[in-house]
Amino acid sequence: MTFQELKPKVSAITLDQKLSKDEKLLAVCQLLNKNIEYYNWVGFYFANHDTQTLHLGPYIGAETDHTVIPFGKGICGQVAVSNNNFVVPDVAAQDNYIACSFTVKSEIVVPLFVNGKNIGQIDIDSHVIDPFTEADERFLEFVNEEIAKLY
């Protein structure tokens, strides 16, 4: 399924009044994981600005020990500080990378803004080296714009 085909499905999930916020987040993770072949782990992390940590929210994929990540640590932690998208074509080439699994070859993290404040991020791991393009970035920015409406 193309990104254009997925956009109305993402919007429909966020508008579904029968689902809780966490159920909507999980449904978006499931939709992306199921329909984009190289999205092998899809999840959300949410910022606690008081403790300068990220906390794992709903996700789909292999279990992770990384339920709390300090700002600045790993790809997710760096995005919490930079407020910028971070595409890692090959995780083996990254110095400040927190290894989740030997099967993860690449990662993309896109910050989630609500009223201009970075409240979290969508994090996607792939078992393929260098699959992410600018189209992935734009699509995930759209996903986060839809998610931001829940807050």
What pLDDT shows up at residue 117? 96
State yes or no: pLDDT of 143 exceeds 80: yes
What pLDDT shows up at residue 93? 82
Q: How many CB atoms lie within 10 A of CB 117?
A: 12
- pLDDT tens-digit readout, 95-136: 666 666 678 899 999 999 999 999 999 999 999 999 999 999
- Type of residue numbered 46: F
- pLDDT tens-digit readout, 55-98: 999 999 999 889 999 999 999 999 999 999 999 999 888 766 66
CA 66, 69, 73, 78 dihedral sign is positive
What pLDDT shows up at residue 6? 98
As a whole number, mean pLDDT of residues 50-59 equals 98
* CATH code that applies to domain 3-148: 3.30.450.40
Question: pLDDT confidence of 30, banded at 50, 70, 90?
Answer: very high
As a whole number, mean pLDDT of residues 35-42 equals 97
Q: Is the full-model pTM beyond 0.85? A: yes
Dihedral pair phi/psi, residue 90, rounded to 5°? -145, 105
What pLDDT shows up at residue 92? 83
Asked whether 106 and 86 are in contact (CB, 8 A), the reply is no
Strands of the chain, DSSP E: 41-48, 53-60, 68-70, 86-88, 106-114, 117-126
What pLDDT shows up at residue 7? 98
Structure tokens at 9: 């499905």
